Structure 1
Amino acid sequence: MVYAFLYSIALNVFWQNGNIYSGGITGISQIITTFLSKTTTLDIPIAYIYYALNIPLLLVGWFIVDRKFVVFTIIGVTFASFAIDTMPVVALTKDPIICAIFGGAIGGYSLGLALKYGMSTGGMDIVLIGLRRITGKSIGHFSMIINGIIVLTAGFIFGWQHAFYSVLSIIVSAKATDMVYIKHQKVQVMIITHYPDRVVARLQEGLTRGITVIENAKGGYMHQDKAVLITVITRYEMEILKELMKDVDEHAFVSVSHDVEILSDFKELDII
């Protein structure tokens, strides 16, 4: 419900007023609505087209992603369609830059919030999740590529000025999504401890990650024998790691390196 409310604000308060095309299924719905209104007498609400376009993709997701995930997504899409249909188009401003930035920030935050709690906004999200599973790259990365193609198509049909503002909105939206949805962001953790056996056992129990153990390390000050443990986890698991280390060896030295690139297979156990 929170996601649906925020997304309807992004669409009806900012994107619609600034003639910004959001990309994804919503962007396609905007293109269809605009095209029909300019070429025919049909005036079909965006919410109806948005819901109809989601149905075939949700059916595909039922078989290739995760059924529990798809059920939550159906609920999210239903709430979003209802919110988009009932939320009035409030004209706070028609400045395209303001509409692009704030619409992108709110829309991207709502998408990240949905993904973080095990659902999606439907449509292209299922495609994006599939691509992330295959390549390990971020949701925002693929979102920018796919949505950029959609918005450029809208610019070719309806005018390039709005397309350029829409690309700005997509970039902001992708960054906002990646700030909230951090399951795909990897960090390397180095642990220096006197108790490698019990630390490894506890971490493997709590995180189910592979750990490399370097024995016979020696402290440069006290010259005590220690072991160095190296593993790669996601930023989403950092809080779990902190609690585990407090429990198993609160005096261990733990160093975290961000923005790690993995060249081999990275095992992901979450459903997203």
Structure 2
Amino acid sequence: MSRLFKFLPHPDYAMKFSFSVVYAILASVAVNIFYEPGKIYSSGLTGIAQIVSTLSETWFDIHLPVSLTLLLLNVPLFLIGWFKIGHKFTIFTGITVVLTSIFMQIMPTEVLTTDPIICAIFGGAVMGAGIGYALKNGLSSGGLDFISIAIRKKTGKTIGSISIIFNFFILLAAGMLFGWQYALYSALAIFVSGKVTDAVYTKQKKMQVTIITRHPDQVIHSIQNSLRRGITIIHEAEGAFRHDKQTVLLTVVTRFELPILRQAMREADKKAFVSIADNVQILGRFYEEEL
């Protein structure tokens, strides 16, 4: 594998290719080992591909593999990614979708259990981990992820919550076509998948940081050398116990950036008081690295 990476034009591309392989394996495990045996319909375009595949076999007696259906349905949505999100992101998402389709086709459907609750929970967890892992590393599983990311950039909502809204309509279709019990179990899988996606994809979670320090210049220099974040300065703050003068610094980081912030504070001022408010909402400009 290392010899293959030498022929790629940039080391980052080799890493992204490896991330694509990991996601493809996780998605294939979720679909072939948990969703298909339990008759669970997945979130996003994978769920739509499953519905189309089932309908083609039930109504027209044509076996249309989920892997091929998924690949075909993704093609028009690549245009959204190309123009609204980023070219490199879309190219590697295309690679991810192709790899996922290949792995779904060649991976055998291993029946560990047909219990729909077990299949929904474990399948949703594996699928959510795959989606979150892909997004965390600048990739996407394709399909509705393109639309979800575009909406997140406009509204600030999390990927998982947006996906749950979209997938409500997939549940309606599955319930009306194949029975409401399948919709209920699929809803459980989609809920688990969305929560695991949010737990893994920490770049979307904002945290407000309040820093009280006697060395504001060193702290600001250390943070801005490590992170691309604005900092608000409040001068002449007074401590109630000793009545000494200090400076208050306010900034917002993502959960993904929190370890970098901690390291910057250790280097600049170990005695500074730092308060962190979890999962805050942001109105206005907030820099996010392009995918």
Normalising by the residue count of structure 1, what TM-score does the alignment of the two structures yield?
A: 0.96
Is residue 189–residue 255 contact of structure 1 (8 Å, CA) maintained in 2? yes
Of stretches 220-229 and 9-18 in structure 1, the one that deviates more from structure 2 is 220-229
Instruction: Indicate if the aligned counterparts of 2:207 and 2:253 stay in contact, CA closer than 8 A.
Output: yes
CA RMSD of aligned residues (A): 1.3
In structure 1, what is the equivalent of residue 284 of structure 2?
Answer: 265
Asked if 1:99 corresponds to 2:119, the answer is yes
**Equivalent-residue separation in structure 1 for 2:102 and 2:262 (angstroms):** 41
> Could you tell me which residue of structure 1 aligns to residue 22 of structure 2?
2
**Distance in 2, Cα, partners of 1:104 & 1:268:** 31
Structure 1 residue 270: deviation in Å? 1.2
Q: Which amino acid aligns with 1:39?
A: W
> How many residue pairs were aligned?
271
Partner of 2:227: 207
Letter of the 1:59 counterpart: L
Letter in 1 for 2:22: V
After superposition, residues 73-222 of structure 1 pair within 5 angstroms as 73-222=93-242
- SS state of the match for residue 212, structure 2? strand
Aligned with 2:207: secondary structure? strand
Name the TM-score, length of structure 2 as normaliser.
Answer: 0.90
Q: 1:178, CA displacement in angstroms?
A: 0.4
How many Å apart are 1:174 and its aligned residue?
Answer: 0.2
Calculate percent identity across the aligned residue pairs. Answer: 47
Partner of 1:52: 72
How much does 1:69 deviate? 0.7
1:83-135 residue CA offsets vs partner (Å, 9 max, x unmatched): 11011111110001011100000000000000000000011110110010000
1:72 paired with 2:92, answer yes
Structure 1, unaligned runs of 5 or more = none
Q: Tell me the residue number matched to 1:28.
A: 48
Corresponding residue SS for 1:217: strand
Question: 1:79, CA displacement in angstroms?
Answer: 1.1
- The equivalent residue for 2:8 is none
1:201-225 CA-to-partner distances (Å, cap 9, x unmatched) read 3323432222221111223444332
The amino acid across from 2:164 in the alignment is M
Equivalent residues of 1:22, 1:151 under 8 A apart: no
CA displacement at 1:176 relative to structure 2: 0.4
Tell whether the 8 Å contact from 1:100 to 1:165 is kept in structure 2 after alignment.
yes
Given that 2:206 and 2:280 are in contact with CA atoms closer than 8 Å, whether structure 1 keeps it comes out as yes
Q: Which amino acid aligns with 1:235?
A: R
- d(CA) in 1 for partners of 2:118, 2:102: 25
Could you list the per-position Cα deviations for residues 217-256 of structure 1 after superposition, in whole angstroms to 9, with x for gaps in the alignment?
2234443321111111111111111121122222211111
Which segments of 5 or more consecutive residues in structure 2 lack a partner in the other structure? 1-20
